[in-house]
Structure 1
Amino acid sequence: MSLTGSKTIFKLKWKYSIVFFVLIFFNLTTFSQSKNPISNLDNLAEQLHTKAKKIPLENVYLQTSKGIYESGEDLWFRAYILDAQSFIPAVKSQTLYLQLINENNKKPIWQEQYEINNGFTNGQVYLLDSLAEGEYMLQAFTANSFYADSNEFKALRKVQVVKDYKSIITSSNTVTAKSTEQDKKNIQFSVFPEGGKLVNGLPTRLSFKAVDSFGKPVKVSGILFQDGKALQKFKSEHAGMGSLDFSPIAGKQYQIRLTEPATDSIFSLPKIHTEGISLSLMSRDSSRLVFVVKRTGGTKGMVYLRGQLRGQTSCIASALLDKELVVKIPLKEFSQQGIAEFTLFDENLLPVAERLAYVHPQKKLYISTQLSKQQLNLREKAELKIKVLDEEGQPVVAHLGVSIFDKLYENQKDAKNILNHYYLSEQLKGRIYDPTYYFDEKHLLEDREQALDLLLLTQGWRNYVWSEDNLAKSKSADQQLISDGIAGEVHFTKKLKQAPKGIQFIQAFSPDEKGASKYSSLIKTDSTGKFVVTSQDFKASQGGYLYLKPISVANFEPRISLDTPFAIINKAIQKKEIIYPSTATHEKEKKVLNQNDVRPSSVKLNEVVVKAKGISIFRDKYLGKLDSLAKAEVNTDFVGVPCNVLNCFQHKEDRSKKPINGETYYVHLGKNKEILGADYLNNFWYGTSSYLYSNPNLIFTEKELLMRNNLTKQKGYYAEKEFYQPNYDKEPAGDGLPDARNTLLWAPEVITDKNGEATISFFCSDINTAFLGKIEGVSGDGLLGMGGFEFGVLKQERLKENR
């Protein structure tokens, strides 16, 4: 057999029968409808490749500076916007829409858009001091990650908000309601045949999963019965999951009864097919996966086994199947870590069996740290050295987010990290219980691999996001709900029949802090008046506002309407299920304060809002100018110069000085102490008196000012802010003010050098306790990793005692 092109062929002869097994690795090419095996291989690869294009191109992960925040603090975050297949930082989307939602009432309390720079966004959310205690969801959206036809949403991070650190102790020691014995008896028990179905006479691995009425795993044991006779005992191995091996026989009745916890429920097995093909993973080692393909009934024919990782075909094998066939798949053909799906097709290219397998858990970033000292003094400077290597021990240039915070502010209820988010949650449908276990090196690798295989077996290939069946249900990429910019339209409100048709123009500008224009551009609409405010416009107006004014004949009163992305987002998200991994609560410890822990009271600067009756204050200097112009235009009152008398008859020639609501002026009084009007010259004048000026016609709302000037206002990107760190090498440490920082370092843009190294420094605060360091990151070729460390901060006298 010979082939042309860049394909490599391996012919293997198996001991079970004389079969020529073809294993092919290739670049995807256009396929023909030819019935020869090689064209079929291309066909299988291309059909997957084509369907994979229709799902969201990006996945978003949010890393925060800590898990628990006090109201009045800043919530610092880093968003990783990665290519959904390669996990390389994506460069397509330019705008990140971010909102903070109260999990209790589902109301947004923060909505802003942020700039994406080469696949990353670093930002801040201000938590108002008035914010209620509770659980909140930080949600992130991009044009290429949030589609209409997706029924799940996972790009979020849960955070807890408290009033002060004492509330953390109270909430952590609150007893969470545990599953009752009745809950455990209300078991949802599901079985999953390996490969997808039970076939008469073919040995099968039958996996199972047991959860209670709250979806929490239940440890179970039971018996498999055949025609009423006990056939095999079994018990769960991890998180309510387990498996048993048996050979089903068509015509026999199979039932499962649970002995622990005891229940009256009887669980039946799926239909047993009288003939068919099975696929099972027989063994694996560090270099290959070994599958067994078996057939009962039917005739000899070609079969094809396709291996794919996140929608990218890695290998396809073809062989002539009679009764049994062994297929060995080299793991080197999968370039990254993750869930691989193996689909077995018959000679008509119809899928007959599927199996998920986890490959290359070792392909990741290995992040190690070295702190200058493990015990530090209050306000002492520390140096942190970071080293990043790949699985072969080679240095890696990686983009890292680094946080160091008081251990008390760790949210033990949060089971999400960058590894389980990208490798598991984004690849499987539904909620995953305790995903941290599968990547936690405190547990034996063998135990984790076995548990992970059970997870994949009990998910079923139908829950794999990239399975061809799921991809086929996805609509095309035109199902995008939002874009990097905001769509708008110019429409006329008067004399519609005479109004101009076709292309219109819009003046876009952004004022600086003094109200002068710092950016100006001309936006051109299409023939229907539609236009887009682009990401460049958002960037130019970052930290402020972009104003839009239609350039057209005023007689037709042109107006601008803009889409509101967050309204679109929240309407769509109501139809989606919000998925967040659950944690193994039995492993969490109660939080207690050590008698030596010292936390000075935080000094919070509340946001100052100046209010005065009858006075409107605009923080936007440009709106302040418009306010002044509007008041000058409608106000006929004046203040005499230099007498400061309101509407002074002696100085009425100069009316340039206008009175201000809330200011005090002198007024002329009549005989009965009434304020004289325009006819005061015809009356006796009895002196002056002070008067608090108030003219209700001079109070303009922002909406009124925009309407008067035919302007539309749109926020730009949220302003970039810098995380505050003191420098006690230069600043005096004895200023008398407590340093109550519970987050010592937030460095979201640490990039290692060619040697895989980076060094950063920080100063301790006056908090005398244990601190955690957490690091997460990604390399330029899509390797993910995380690391951590812990140290203590003690007073000087305690340091001496410990030494």
Structure 2
Amino acid sequence: MHTLKASKSSRINFLIKLKTGLCAFMFMLISSALKAQNDIATKEALAEKVYLQTDRSNYTLGETIWFKAIVAQAKDNVPSALSGVLHVELIDPFETVVGEKLLDLETGIANNYFDIQNFYSPGTYQLRAYTQWNKNFKSDFIFKSYLSITEDKALNDVVQKIDADDQDTTRFLFKPELIDSTTSSKFDLELAYDDRVKKQVIRKNSSGYFLLEQDFPEGTAWVHMKLITESGKEWSESIPLSQPAIDIQFLPEGGSLIAGINNLIGFKAINEKGKGVAVTGTVYDEANNVITSFKSNKLGMGRIYIFPKPEASYRVELKEPHEDLKLSYSFTDVVEKGSTLSVNEVGNNLAVLINSTQFVNDSVYVEVSSRGLILGEIARKLKAGKQTLMFSKESLPAGIIVFSLKDQNKNPLAERLFFNNLEIEALPIDFKMAKSSYKTGEEANLEFSASGIAQLASASVVVIPKELGNDQNIWNYFMLSSELRGTIEKPSFYFEDTHLVKPDELDNLLLTQGWRGYAFNTALDEEQMNVLPEFALGVEGAVAALFNKDKMKEGVDVSLMVFGEEQSFYTQKTDSLGRFNFLLPPMEGRRVRAVLQTKNDAGKNRNYTLSLAEANKPKIQYDRTQAFFKQNNLQSKVFQQSESEGASDSFFDYDPEVNQLDEVVISNYELTPQRQKVMDTYGKPDVVIDGRELESKENEYNRGLYGVLLQSFGDKISFQMYQDSTGVRYQKAVVTGGMETIVLVDGIPVLDDAYQFLPNLPPSEVKSVEILDGITKNFMPLYRRVYPFKDTQSTPIQGCILAIYTYSGNGLYTATKSKGILKTSIPVFAPTKEFYIPKYQPEKSALGPGDNSVSLYWNPDLKLKDKEVISLNIQNNEIPGTKTVRIEVIATNGRIGYKNIDYEVKD
């Protein structure tokens, strides 16, 4: 019997050590020490897991997404003390970030919210979160989940995919009047597929229908559409283009299908949407003899056993779910010699069986690891190619364990993942409710406590309608989903709370998705970790010589002034590479103004090249199989009617010339990428002022861009004085006519707190100034982006844009030049708000305004001590049905608790 325990001393406290050192030298020193540790198998052991718990998975426009964030050490699920900042983003189906927050992590814990604006397009949105430190680990440790956002009324058939005579052409029928009753003769359409985006105008044909015929490249599986009406209303929808199909893979235990021994093979079947699908089928050999039959579970997974012959070939035929369609697949190739590694649960022990036709009486090694940490390595000599090792389950950590078979030279031969189920590892939650059924509007009382908490734990409680619950929870995420690549379909299928109820089905998952999808697999010294952790808010950048941006300046005095609620001042010298990095105290809001200044040794301002580090966001990876879609692959009733009537202006009298982009012709106008972006998004300019003309108008009486515009082009634009919340006065541009005016610099919206920097833009740096007068296209989302904290009800649907293009082409701050000075604004932590629950008043027919119209209760920040009883009062609303209480707990030592309880609400 083998007992393996990783000693506490061997599990190095890297994360806390790193936080005490703020310089690159300390970072490199610790990294070198890490490589010397022989219990760290993979680089990913040093990563941080990120988990977001949302109150539910479905929302409507105007509601709030409440979420709690947990950042934990990947190696042991202990809340992380390393990162102090978490980046959270809400991404629409067109892969545009529509909301972003910086969260102030307190020992790995934070909570916040996103308000769903009324101008958001309905569809499936991605919620993602990451720390700067996790950029060292590719995309494996970037949290992603998907939320459905719909209108408050169901809309059907806005887009229909309909049959076409030509199989290479796809036809669509649009009904934009369902989302905008003011739609007249045209609307804008964006098509996204195969990493490309096309934009065009769809016009009503002679029969009064909006039609599109489109040829897609072969193999295109999905197309995502965004309809934008002339009044600015939007609708998004993802539609599968492929016909119903099934893909099935057979994956041998250990990695290879080996001749001459009995092989366990896991299989998984998925449909054209990437979802598991139940199948039944048969395996045949080359002589059409039946070898075995199989049947999957509802998620398309199962297992078979085969004793293959050398050089044999096999094929698979599926009988279900398409009985009328014969589906045949090739099978995994047979290898003549190899080794397998099997793991079976025997009481409180795990039996690891080695079977090899490659080695007979040789010595082999079995390495045991968990979350990138080596727990031990055992050498054994094979006897006639076989050997069995026994391990006590309690000597191994709970969760996914990796058993790796190696030859005597430590070359890998086979690998097997196994879920070690230890009930004692979970935090038991004791829950009591006064009764199981309540009336609408009645208050429900509940109590809960958790035992086994060593010091302190963080808990959250949410109460929602049962049908809106998330399939993912804190337990199945930290113990399963976070350690396997790809999306785990229905992770709660395997567990009831923290109890493993389908061990065989979970083993099938590890045989298939875990076969090539384990997240902890990069050697520690294989790749450098070049991104430092983000301990706090900060400003970092570099100083270079004025006329040589590659010549970095060491020892330059850099001062930073921050204009938050209180003005703060910081100074430091650049390092040997010309870099500076200011760490700031916590501040809340959206952005605050800041000014950086450089001086030489004599204390005089020097006009060095001063640049800020770019915020390098991870590439957006949107899983189209998660998107909301409808497949209307049918003959339209309208089409059938028009066919029977034999009308000459048929429903399908499709004229491709009808749906073309509006042509824009401006003489001597260079269509740069920035101008193209603005034109595609908002429309063509009505006024274009050349930058050379602006520069020629500047004199000692009207310096700065706004001064020149006011003096020489006052008939087209005026300026009004405003004062922000900090008392700073600034000029705001207003296009003649008085409508709300938004400023873009090189296509980048200027946020409200940066308007003060616009008046003094040097005309010599401006290539052109352009006015877009009275636009409606995309103006509402642009306004909300610039003014995120204004009342959404006051958002104008129409306005103007002042588009400024600079020679640098990189936005406002690269165009602002002062001697040794850089003006900027920096993001700060997002403020939180409380979940508001109104008191129920029986005499009224409805609840007062509050947040619990759907989600009844949300509290993400409960502090728990061992066996401490927490009492909560839940205000039920007027909606009857089954309600679900979800309690999630994580302790400071990484132990996790989860409880899910239902109760009824009746009229």
Tell me if both proteins adopt one fold, taking TM over 0.5 as the criterion.
Answer: yes
Task: Provide, for residues 192-241 of structure 1, a one-character-per-residue CA deviation record: whole Å limited to 9, x for no partner.
Answer: 12222233322211222222333232333333333414243322232222
Correspondence for 1:789: 901
Note if 1:749 corresponds to 2:737.
no
Using the aligned pairs only, state the percent identity: 22
Distance 1:126 1:23, change over 3 A: closer
Task: Provide, for residues 334-385 of structure 1, a one-character-per-residue CA deviation record: whole Å limited to 9, x for no partner.
Answer: 122x111111112222221211111115232333432344445666544321
Correspondence for 1:302: 363
Give the Cα–Cα distance (whole angstroms) in 2 for the partners of residues 23 and 237 of structure 1: 36
User: Residue 776 of structure 1 contacts residue 787 of structure 1 at CA under 8 Å; is this kept in 2?
Assistant: yes
Give the Cα–Cα distance (whole angstroms) in 1 for the partners of residues 402 and 145 of structure 2: 28
Distance 1:487 1:191, change over 3 A: same
Correspondence for 1:3: none
Distance 1:711 1:434, change over 3 A: same
User: Residue 556 of structure 2 contacts residue 598 of structure 2 at CA under 8 Å; is this kept in 1?
Assistant: no
Correspondence for 1:779: 891
User: Residue 127 of structure 2 contacts residue 146 of structure 2 at CA under 8 Å; is this kept in 1?
Assistant: yes
Give the Cα–Cα distance (whole angstroms) in 2 for the partners of residues 368 and 53 of structure 1: 38
Pick one of 27, 30, 53 that aligns with 1:63: 53
Correspondence for 1:114: 103
Amino acid at match of 1:477: M
Note if 1:75 corresponds to 2:65.
yes
Deviation of 1:291 (Å): 2.3
Give the Cα–Cα distance (whole angstroms) in 2 for the partners of residues 296 and 51 of structure 1: 28
Q: When the two structures are superposed, what TM-score results if normalisation uses the length of structure 2?
A: 0.61
- Secondary structure of 1:112's aligned partner: strand
- Secondary structure of 2:503's aligned partner: helix
Correspondence for 2:722: 617
Unaligned ranges ≥5, structure 2:
11-34, 159-236, 631-716, 733-801, 803-810
Distance 1:301 1:770, change over 3 A: closer
Distance 1:84 1:580, change over 3 A: farther
Pick one of 557, 563, 574 that aligns with 1:525: 574
User: Residue 309 of structure 1 contacts residue 340 of structure 1 at CA under 8 Å; is this kept in 2?
Assistant: yes
- Secondary structure of 1:415's aligned partner: coil
Distance 1:775 1:501, change over 3 A: closer
Pick one of 439, 442, 446 that aligns with 2:495: 439
Q: When the two structures are superposed, what TM-score results if normalisation uses the length of structure 1?
A: 0.68
Correspondence for 1:561: 611
Distance 1:178 1:787, change over 3 A: farther
Structure-to-structure mapping, 1:304-343, within 5 angstroms: 304-323=365-384, 324-336=386-398, 338-343=399-404
Give the Cα–Cα distance (whole angstroms) in 1 for the partners of residues 846 and 4 of structure 2: 72
Mark the structure with the bigger radius of gyration. Answer: 1
Give the Cα–Cα distance (whole angstroms) in 2 for the partners of residues 499 and 559 of structure 1: 9
Structure-to-structure mapping, 1:246-645, within 5 angstroms: 246-260=306-320, 261=322, 266-281=328-343, 283-296=344-357, 298-323=359-384, 324-336=386-398, 338-360=399-421, 362=423, 363-376=425-438, 380-389=442-451, 397-406=456-465, 410=468, 415-440=471-496, 448-467=502-521, 470-471=522-523, 475-478=527-530, 484=536, 485-490=538-543, 502-512=555-565, 517-527=566-576, 529-534=578-583, 536-537=584-585, 539-540=586-587, 545-552=592-599, 556-557=606-607, 560-565=610-615, 568-569=616-617, 572-574=618-620, 614-624=719-729
- Secondary structure of 2:483's aligned partner: coil
Correspondence for 2:663: none
Correspondence for 1:738: 848
Distance 1:29 1:293, change over 3 A: farther
- Secondary structure of 1:433's aligned partner: coil
Amino acid at match of 1:427: E
- Secondary structure of 2:289's aligned partner: strand
Correspondence for 1:218: 277
Give the Cα–Cα distance (whole angstroms) in 2 for the partners of residues 501 and 474 of structure 1: 32
Correspondence for 2:138: 150
User: Residue 495 of structure 1 contacts residue 556 of structure 1 at CA under 8 Å; is this kept in 2?
Assistant: no
Deviation of 1:84 (Å): 0.7
Give the Cα–Cα distance (whole angstroms) in 1 for the partners of residues 328 and 550 of structure 2: 74
Give the Cα–Cα distance (whole angstroms) in 1 for the partners of residues 528 and 58 of structure 2: 39
Pick one of 59, 78, 94 that aligns with 2:84: 94
User: Residue 271 of structure 2 contacts residue 277 of structure 2 at CA under 8 Å; is this kept in 1?
Assistant: yes
Note if 1:161 corresponds to 2:149.
yes
Give the Cα–Cα distance (whole angstroms) in 2 for the partners of residues 545 and 204 of structure 1: 63
Pick one of 119, 123, 134 that aligns with 1:130: 119
Give the Cα–Cα distance (whole angstroms) in 1 for the partners of residues 492 and 120 of structure 2: 30
- Secondary structure of 2:520's aligned partner: coil
Distance 1:564 1:98, change over 3 A: farther
Note if 1:720 corresponds to 2:871.
no
- Secondary structure of 1:420's aligned partner: helix
Task: Provide, for residues 593-627 of structure 1, a one-character-per-residue CA deviation record: whole Å limited to 9, x for no partner.
Answer: xxxxxxxxxxxxxxxxxxx9842534342433x66
Amino acid at match of 1:133: P
Note if 1:206 corresponds to 2:265.
yes
Correspondence for 1:191: 250
User: Residue 546 of structure 1 contacts residue 713 of structure 1 at CA under 8 Å; is this kept in 2?
Assistant: yes
- Secondary structure of 1:85's aligned partner: coil
Amino acid at match of 1:79: A
Distance 1:364 1:46, change over 3 A: farther
Distance 1:322 1:732, change over 3 A: closer
Task: Provide, for residues 694-753 of structure 1, a one-character-per-residue CA deviation record: whole Å limited to 9, x for no partner.
Answer: xx9xxxx9979987885322122122333334568xx99989983453233221111222
Note if 1:228 corresponds to 2:287.
yes
Task: Provide, for residues 428-450 of structure 1, a one-character-per-residue CA deviation record: whole Å limited to 9, x for no partner.
Answer: 222322222112469x966x111
Give the Cα–Cα distance (whole angstroms) in 2 for the partners of residues 767 and 220 of structure 1: 39
Give the Cα–Cα distance (whole angstroms) in 1 for the partners of residues 420 and 367 of structure 2: 15
- Secondary structure of 2:508's aligned partner: helix
Deviation of 1:519 (Å): 3.6
Deviation of 1:142 (Å): 0.4
Root-mean-square deviation over aligned CA pairs: 4.4
Give the Cα–Cα distance (whole angstroms) in 2 for the partners of residues 288 and 93 of structure 1: 38
Give the Cα–Cα distance (whole angstroms) in 1 for the partners of residues 389 and 551 of structure 2: 75
Unaligned ranges ≥5, structure 1:
1-9, 11-21, 31-44, 586-611, 629-695, 799-803
Distance 1:704 1:318, change over 3 A: closer
Structure-to-structure mapping, 1:7-86, within 5 angstroms: 27=7, 49-53=39-43, 57-86=47-76
Distance 1:493 1:69, change over 3 A: farther
Count of matched residue positions in the alignment of Structure 1 and Structure 2: 630
Give the Cα–Cα distance (whole angstroms) in 1 for the partners of residues 375 and 104 of structure 2: 35
Task: Provide, for residues 98-117 of structure 1, a one-character-per-residue CA deviation record: whole Å limited to 9, x for no partner.
Answer: 221112x1111122312110
Deviation of 1:141 (Å): 1.4
Give the Cα–Cα distance (whole angstroms) in 1 for the partners of residues 316 and 431 of structure 2: 50
Deviation of 1:55 (Å): 5.8
Distance 1:143 1:705, change over 3 A: closer
